[in-house]
Chain A
Amino acid sequence: MNRNLKDTIVEGITGVSVLLIIFIIVSILAITIVGGWPKLNWTFLSEFPKDGMTKGGIFPAIIGTAVMTIIMAVAAVPFGVITAVYLAEYASEKSVVAKTIRFAVKTLAVVPSIIFGLFGLGFFIGFIGKNMDGLLNGGVLKWGQPNILWASFTMALLTLPVVIVSVEEAIRTIPREMREASLALGATKWQTIKSVVLPGSISGILTGTILAVSRGAGEVAPILFTGAAYFLSTLPHSLNDQFMSLGYHIYIMSTQSSDVDATLPIQFATTLVLLLLTFSLNAVAVVLRYRIRKRAK
């Protein structure tokens, strides 16, 4: 009896913990939806901010986020896929090289995002950009300042581990027999990778890309000083322009706006847009990943 009571209480406590976490998640979602829904309409999505950012929409922030994540994906995905191919196909599990690369990838995954921002500032802007200006433009400041290219590259480093992990997982689900069949038919290792392994892991590459885009769209710290701008009256039209981003917009509007209360609906609606974006991307990734895992069984 006593033991049964204790069992019930302890199980109850653990169950309550689960409920509490789920409650918090649901309330974040509910509050964002309730606060943002009334403001969310086509004008909001397609207009520039107006009247010192107190009215108007978030069109440039959406475009900025989209362009930045596209450049980021173009930079991160090929590197991520090739690294994953190396880890899964070439490197032996026990080799020091493979272990070191794995450790490096894990380190990249846990380094705080603000450090990537610092690195982007010190390396891309302060080192590469400044030297490019010195060599190409005779010292005229063009690349040695924050812009969308450096912000995207910084974000690409941050999302590299996401791509590597997804692609490697997908490659490992390809049956050995398929590789062996290809090799037995006289194909070389590279031919096997090119025409059996990579086509077979397309969904994994897609998952990795989507997860990376979702992560990159939401992160703010790495772009704080590598390219995000408070307000721009035009869309970025070259790689050395600054850009507006959804996450940065939320941060700026909620902490540094001249009238935080008046712009509250805009802030909630922007948060809702960002959440919808990352959630729908994650949902697609989850479905894709589920299909990959099913194949593995």
Chain B
Amino acid sequence: MARGTGKVAKSDIVTFNKKKFRFSDWFAEKVIKSVAFLSIAIVILIFVFVFREAFPIFRMDKKVAASSELMVQESYGGSDSGSTEKVADNQVGNSNKTQTPGDSPSSTLLSKTWMPVSDNPRYGMLPLFLGTLKVTLIALLFAAPLSILAAIYTSMFAKPRIREVIKPVIELLAGFPSVVIGFFALMVLASVFQNIFGYASRLNSFVGGIAMGLAAIPIIYTLTEDALTAVPKTFTEASLGLGASRRQTAFYVVLPAAVPGIFAAVVLGLGRIFGETMIALMATGNAAMISMNPFDSVRTLSATIGAEMAEVVFGDTHYNVLFLIGSLLFIFTFALNALAEFYFKNMVIRKYQSKK
């Protein structure tokens, strides 16, 4: 206050050109601006802290790298339920290069075995990647066509009164907590599908994939519906006016015009499926194995973090590997979001501008 009024009193010319300086206004703006910056800070902090905990893996690697090449693959199948203390001990042994033989943690990262709790822990992420890919593919193949078709019906064919009902009902699905969908998959879907397909393991990537698809449906549906409605009315009217049927208009005029928006919707749905943890934990069976059969149990990247982080020793290699998986998940969803946000949005804008 004092500073402001002082300035004003000094010269009249300044007051003439400048707004009167008010401390409370200046202060409020500064506070609001700095708080708003917090969301940027949080994203950066997440980046930094998830990576920080993953980083020691690569440092530890250098220490052990020399010895690891000499190591013959030990039999590590023995005690797969070994306690975490054992792992911690083993880790100490590793970095001292003296006691228990074992591979350096990061040299096993691309191997085919995920067996973090054993005498010779192996952190092969290949089965986890494959499992995630399998589940994601199944979920996407289920959710994307279903939600896009439903969105086409809602925006193109449904009468306005019916549309008012369909939209909120389908968006209701977004209000289901993922643990509820996971529970439904675990208790109901798994048994129903087992009766139909007669597979051996009750929980598998198919059940998990369908359940995760359910979680992605409201996202893909809502965004696709938005994209379809955003197509200028003139397009539809021109097409109908030329004698095309509603179906032809929907599939040959409106749908092509909305393609970038639908892509963005699918990409965001993909992000949701990819990072989904609770459904994966509850419905996929959580067995890290390499198989292309959709009816085998799988373990996804996010489920691995969720299942193992609670039992892990703080600062242990296993702990670091789980954070490494987290970093990969983060980078991937970040990239997907950026893609949807910048690439597809620009495509939409360009498309309509060029047609004007």
Contact = CB atoms under 8 A, between A and B. Distances in A.
B229 interface: no
Interface of B: 22, 24-25, 28-29, 31-33, 35-40, 42-43, 45-46, 49-50, 52-53, 145-147, 149-150, 152-154, 156-158, 166, 168-170, 172-173, 175-184, 186-188, 214, 217, 221, 245-248, 251, 268, 271-272, 274-278, 281-282, 302, 305-306, 309-310, 314, 322-323, 326, 329-330, 333-334, 336-338, 341
Nearest to A270: B183
B329 A115 contact: yes
A112 B333 contact: yes
Interface string A234-264: 0000000000000110110011000000001
A297 to B, nearest CB: 15
Nearest to B143: A21
B179 A218 contact: yes
Contact of A119 (B29, B45, B173, B186): B45
Contact of B43 (A85, A104, A112, A123): A104
A25 B305 contact: no
A246 to B, nearest CB: 9
Contacts of A221: 178, 277-278, 302, 306
Interface string A82-112: 1101110011000000001101111110111
Interface string A279-297: 1001000100000000000
22 contacts: A11-B157, A11-B246, A13-B149, A14-B150, A15-B157, A21-B217, A22-B170, A79-B35, A90-B36, A101-B37, A104-B42, A110-B333, A111-B46, A112-B274, A113-B277, A114-B329, A117-B305, A118-B322, A119-B50, A224-B277, A254-B282, A267-B183
Interface of A is mostly: helix
List of 9 A-B pairs having minimum Cβ-Cβ separation, nearest first: A112-B275, A218-B177, A86-B36, A14-B153, A17-B149, A190-B28, A221-B277, A114-B277, A82-B35
A100 B180 contact: no
Interface of A: 3-4, 6-7, 10-11, 13-15, 17-18, 20-22, 24-25, 27-28, 31-32, 35, 79, 82-83, 85-87, 90-91, 100-101, 103-108, 110-119, 121-123, 126-127, 157, 160, 164, 188-191, 193, 214, 217-221, 224-225, 247-248, 250-251, 254-255, 264, 267-268, 271, 274-275, 278-279, 282, 286
A112 B323 CA distance: 13
A118 B326 contact: yes
A105 B172 CA distance: 23
Nearest to A189: B25
B287 to A, nearest CB: 14
